[in-house]
Structures are given as C-alpha cells and as structure tokens.
Structure 1
C-alpha cells in the first residue's frame, strides 16, 4: 500500500515536471512556434563613396568630420549637431558667424583642433574624442589605415559634382539611420535640378554674363574644375576661369582678370573681402577700376546659411537659384528667394527664419544694389 502511494506521488511529480517543461517550451517559442527574434546586431556595414565596406556601430553617437562642409551635412541629415564631436577649423570659423550657431548651439562644443587647415589629423587628439566614426576625404587612405589601427572606423567621401554631394547625403543617412531625411534632401536637390533644366531653352537665347568667382584677396578664383563652375552654368552664366585647371581654386594674376573682364563678380565667404574693396580699389597691387563688373556695380557677396554657399552642400540648390536671380531676374521669375529660403529652413531644419535672419543669409546689407 505504501509502495502504491509512493508510486502515485512520483507519477504526480513527473506530470508536474512535464507540464512545466511544456510551458517553458511554449515561452521559448514565439506565437505559432516561431523562434524568438535574435538580439539586434550592434554593428552594421556601410559602403563609402570609394566602394569600401566599413563596419560601424549600428547606432553611431559620436562623429568627427575632416572635410569642411560635411559637419553641416551631418547636422542637416540628423536634425541635430549633438553627434558632432570634431570638425575642421574652417568649418568652425564659418559656424561661429552664421545662423547655425543659433540653430545648433551644441556644435560649439565640437573639437576643431584634431585636424589642421591642410586636413592633417592629430591622432592622439582624435583618440581622446573616442569617435564612433571619422569622415575623411577620398584621397586620404593612409589616414584611414592609421585610424583603423586605433580601432576607429572611417568612411571616405568625395565631391566634384552635384551627384557626389547627393551620394554623400545618402551615405550619411545610412550611417545615422536617417534614410528618410537624407532622401528628402536629395529629392529637393534633384527637383531643383529639374527646374533649372526646364529653363535651358529660355536661357539659350540670352546673353550669359561672364562671371568671376573670387575666393579671396590673393586672387584665388574658381576654376574650370570647380563645383562653382557648375553652379554658374546651371544659373545661366559663364565662368571666365574655365580655362584654369588643376584645382578647384587657383591663384591668377590681375592681368589675367583684366583680360577676362568679367561682367559679374561673386565674392566667397572664405575671406572677408567685400564689394567695396573692389569698388574703391583697396587691394594692394590690384586695379579693379577697368573691370566691367566693378564699373557697373555688379560685385556681390555670396550668401551663407548653415554653411558657406560657395562650396557644395545641402543648400547648393538655393545658391544656384540665387545666382539665377543675379544673372537673369527676367527669366527666374517664378520663385521668391526669401520665400524659398523660409520654406526650406522650415521643412528641413524645423526653423522659422525671421526677416533679419533672411537678410543675414542673403548678405543683404553687403549687397545693397541687389534686390533679392
């Protein structure tokens, strides 16, 4: 009898164990026997603009940026500057005097000494930043190798065309898991390009003003290999320095400028040069008095938004539209520059521009003869 009781207790215990194991089995499987989803990977692979496959953190939180305009591309794609831990000193210089300082005050904390003006990196300093990723130029493979030795991944970017900029925006979107924001910025660029193409037939019958894009007081000009040439062409102008090759910017002589005799001069924001410097012949060793653009008061300071519009960036479509108003106000009549700017900043940066901010971006006070 006692033996039977023990057998029944043993059988009951066995049934309980089997029942508990079956419950555990159900819990270890998803609904309808599906396996539990694996833990999301902590890394991912992106392909940079040279075709390199780069393993990076799935959620990048800290980025150091070597190329000058690309810190603002990171900001535009991410909608914040919080992930920017390092940027080029020239980019920081632009930041300190443009509207981005108001829109993203956090960028002021970014290190701007880990890289010098010639894009050389201080490896000890960049290591202290502990970045998840460094953005470098396409011509810096040795820097990429040294960063890899420090355990820091890097992606290479390039630009020489507007398509390069768009590909770079797409890459940043993939890095930051912001594909939708990146796609929207790219679509704006492509839509603007389509609009500009629609004006080509009208512009074909127009005089295309000979234009000099002047970087600084040292007579560095935008060459035939610069993105500025593309900007000028797309807006219905002709770059007088098309024959100059080798670099995007190159120093020329005053005699060469006189021979070109540009009808319009655009002054970049890479220097503090102003139209008055040319109108009043303030630059030592240079005589601008015989230049057509100077005689007709057609020297203009380029705009600067979240970055200098002189260089390819997310605002390049706006730069070309501005040039269109400068060259052919009778052709580019179907948009208002100030309204377009307000819409762009609202849609892509979630920032409502004030009238003083619009004037600041468009360099209105520096261009009193230009009614935009």
Structure 2
C-alpha cells in the first residue's frame, strides 16, 4: 500500500512538472505564417539587421542582449549607453548577411537568447531559411513584416504581442498609424499639385547619386513629391549615379540632400558653395533642404524602417505648409520622445535642422555666378545636341 502511494505521488509530481514546463512555452505565429515556440516571457532579444534593431528599440533598450551592428556616432548620441557594450550578432539576410549557426550557438551560451527577430520585406525562401537555422541552433527565429507605410502599425502590434508588451505595441501602432493616416488624407488634398524634387544621397565631383522613383527606399519621396529622378535601377539606399548634366535637365523645385553625418553638413555646403550648382533655380531661391543623417538614423530612410515617418512630418510642412499645418519643432520632439524615448533639446533641434527648412535666407553665398550659369546652360545644350 505504501509502495503504491509513493508511486502515485511521483506520478502526480511528474504531471505537475510537465504542466509547469508546458506553461513556460507558447506558440507565436510570425508574419511568414511560421509557428514558433517561445518562452512565456520574452526578455532577451537579438535583432537580425538594422531594421529589427530600429523597430525593437521603441519597446525599450532592456530587451536587447545583442545588437546587429556596431553603433555609429549618431546612435551613440541618441540611444542608451548600454547598447554600445553589447556583442554584435549581425544580420541573417541582405547583402551584409553575417549570421552563422556556430556564432549563434556560442552567443546563446554566453547571453541566453530567447528569440532572434528579423524585420523587413518578406523574400522568397525566407521561411525555409529561418526554419533551417532555427533547427541547427535551437534558438527561435521570428520574422515580422514591415515593408510599406501601411504595414508599420501592424508590425508594432505583432512585435508587442511577441514581447508581451501589448499595451506599448498598441500605443506605438496608434501613433505611427496616425501619422500615416494624416499623410494620406493631406496628400489627397494636394492631388496633382505636388512639387517636384530629387533626393541627393552622395556627391563625388561631377557624379551625383539620386534615389530613383519606384524603389523600396523612395516610398515617401514618391508619395509626398513628384520624384523626377528616373526609375531606380540599384536596390540600395544610395540610389543610382548621374551627372550634373542630368541634374540640369531635371531642374527640380526642391533639392533634398542627405546630411553627411550627425550635425555634419558637407554635401549641403558643397552644393551651396558650387558655381555649377548655383545655376539651378532651386539653389538660387533657397529650395535646397538637408535631410538629417545619423540622427540616430537617416530621416529619409536608409534603412527604410518606421523611423522615416519623421520625414513625412518634416517634408509635408516644408512643401505644403497650408495643408500640413502644425508646429514642426513640436512634432519632431514628440516623435523623438515616442520613438526613441529621447527628449530633444532646443539646441539639438536647431542644429539638426539648420539647413532643413528651405528658408529664403538659405541661398548660395552669392547670386548665381556667371560661370555657373554658363556651365549649366552649356551642359544642357550639349545634352540636347546628342
């Protein structure tokens, strides 16, 4: 009788232990439709790639046990200090993919990874690749889609569910979704009366890189303006290379130029100090505006994650102030507080947007020089003769 009682107690204990272990795991369905077993409480997350790192940060720096790449100057300025001391795990997909099973296994032993997340545009065979590396490492891999403006709000709801931070996910989704809705409503009012613009991502002498239309990276530029650069060929955020002759042919209403680093204005200064560029009406009339870079990421979206929504607030107010009618400084500071948990100072705002408002005062240092005008006209003439 005593032996039977002991066996029964052991059996009940085993049942209780099994039930407890089962309660510690849960099934999560990612954006690829994969069912992934996760801990009941997810606290140790490793991002795969820059987009995942950007999106995850809005849920709090305490979620990170690794980072996808070493921090740049702007990231160190705006992001929590502890991230700079975390190990780097790299990215599973893209041209800079560096993740491999052996390193993941070693990193898991070192920091204890609950899940590795990748965020972005779903690609062919991605589900099979994630299943394969998950099987080899015994570390859960999750993919969350965020490839267009319309997918941003849902991505935050999905990530909030995965992290067990549903309330924060809903807060971010409502805020981001609100910006997108405002943008869509206002652009309906603008209709066909959009300004023309180009986005200069790099200048190297007579070679100028522009972000072409219909590219993954140009979604906001294509929507908020008439992006008159040719259709994109390259898939990178630097776009395609053109000459100054091409720029004269385009003759945009606005020239958006990328900042060259945190609080650095090299490309802007090059345009405004050049006799050649000074032949363009946009330069003469102060319609060259600089897009903040490394603040902590490029406002125009390289990489094209949800942080680029700040460029909607910015460009909308510059291009169409009667429609996007609000205090831009107030909106930008609100974005930084919500998205980065960072309170932007008046001085930081002023320096970041030093050349970003398109004021008439922001003109070339002298009226369009004769040499610049002649050079521009000559370039156009030669182009037409070909």
TM above 0.5, one fold? Answer: yes
Find 2:271's aligned residue among 269, 278, 288.
278
Which residue of structure 2 aligns with residue 154 of structure 1?
A: 141
Contact kept in structure 2, 1:99 and 1:357, CA below 8 Å:
no
Which residue of structure 2 aligns with residue 106 of structure 1?
A: 82
Find 2:240's aligned residue among 251, 262, 266.
251
For residues 234-283 of structure 1, give each alpha carbon's deviation from its aligned partner in whole angstroms, at most 9, with x where no partner exists: 43x1111352256254322214333222222223357665311222249x
How many residues of Structure 1 are paired with residues of Structure 2 in the alignment? 326
Which residue of structure 1 aligns with residue 354 of structure 2?
A: 365
- 348-357 vs 65-74, greater mean Cα deviation: 348-357
Q: Using a 3 Å threshold, how does the CA distance of structure 1 residues 344 and 148 change in structure 2: closer, same or farther?
A: same
Q: Give the C-alpha shift of residue 369 in structure 1.
A: 5.0
Which residue of structure 2 aligns with residue 303 of structure 1?
A: 292
Superposed, 1:1-372 pairs within 5 Å as: 39=20, 41-76=23-58, 78=59, 80-89=60-69, 92-93=71-72, 95-100=74-79, 104-112=80-88, 114-115=90-91, 118-130=96-108, 131-136=113-118, 138-139=122-123, 140-141=126-127, 143-144=129-130, 145-204=132-191, 206=193, 208-217=194-203, 219-226=208-215, 228-235=217-224, 237-241=225-229, 243-245=231-233, 247=235, 249=237, 250-254=239-243, 255-269=245-259, 273-281=266-274, 288-303=277-292, 305-311=295-301, 312-333=304-325, 335-346=326-337, 350-360=341-351, 363-367=352-356, 369-370=358-359
Contact kept in structure 1, 2:39 and 2:114, CA below 8 Å:
yes
Which residue of structure 1 aligns with residue 5 of structure 2?
A: none
Measured in 2, the distance between the counterparts of 1:359 and 1:228 equals 27
For residues 318-348 of structure 1, give each alpha carbon's deviation from its aligned partner in whole angstroms, at most 9, with x where no partner exists: 3201001221223322x11111233344456
Contact kept in structure 1, 2:30 and 2:36, CA below 8 Å:
yes
The unaligned stretches of length 5 or more in structure 1 are 1-27, 29-34
SS of alignment partner, residue 156 of structure 1: strand
Measured in 2, the distance between the counterparts of 1:315 and 1:96 equals 13
Contact kept in structure 1, 2:49 and 2:68, CA below 8 Å:
yes
Q: Give the C-alpha shift of residue 366 in structure 1.
A: 4.2
Measured in 1, the distance between the counterparts of 2:346 and 2:253 equals 30
Q: Give the C-alpha shift of residue 112 in structure 1.
A: 3.2
Contact kept in structure 1, 2:152 and 2:176, CA below 8 Å:
no
Measured in 1, the distance between the counterparts of 2:87 and 2:209 equals 29
RMSD, matched Cα = 3.6
Q: Using a 3 Å threshold, how does the CA distance of structure 1 residues 200 and 133 change in structure 2: closer, same or farther?
A: same
Q: Could you say which structure has the larger radius of gyration? A: 1
Measured in 2, the distance between the counterparts of 1:221 and 1:133 equals 37
The unaligned stretches of length 5 or more in structure 2 are 1-11, 361-386
Contact kept in structure 1, 2:214 and 2:222, CA below 8 Å:
no
TM-score where L is the length of structure 1: 0.74
Measured in 1, the distance between the counterparts of 2:281 and 2:129 equals 46
Q: Give the C-alpha shift of residue 94 in structure 1.
A: 5.8
Q: Using a 3 Å threshold, how does the CA distance of structure 1 residues 320 and 146 change in structure 2: closer, same or farther?
A: same
